[in-house]
Amino acid sequence: MRFYHHYIFPYLLDLAMSSRAFRKPRARALAPASGRILEIGFGTGMNLQYYPPTVTRIEAIDPDLDLDRYSQPRIAASRIDVDFHHLDAEHLPFEGERFDTVVSTLTLCSIPDVVHALGEIRRVLKPGGQFLFLEHGRAPDAGVARWQDRLTPAWKPLGGGCHLNRPMRELVSDAGFRLDPVQNYYLRGLPRIFGYMTEGVARRD
Question: Domain segments of the chain: what residues?
Answer: 2-203
pTM of the model: 0.96
State in words which class domain 2-203 has: alpha beta
- Classify residue 116 by its DSSP letter: H
Partners of 132 in the β-ladder:
103, 201
The pLDDT > 90 percentage for the chain reads: 99
Q: Are 35 and 99 in contact (CB under 8 A)?
A: yes
Render pLDDT for 27-65 as a digit per residue (tens, 0 to 9).
999 999 999 999 999 999 999 999 999 999 999 999 999
Spatial distance between the Cα atoms of 87 and 72, rounded to a whole number of angstroms: 15
Render pLDDT for 81-126 as a digit per residue (tens, 0 to 9).
999 999 999 999 999 999 999 999 999 999 999 999 999 999 999 9
- Degrees, nearest 5: CA angle 70-73-76: 145
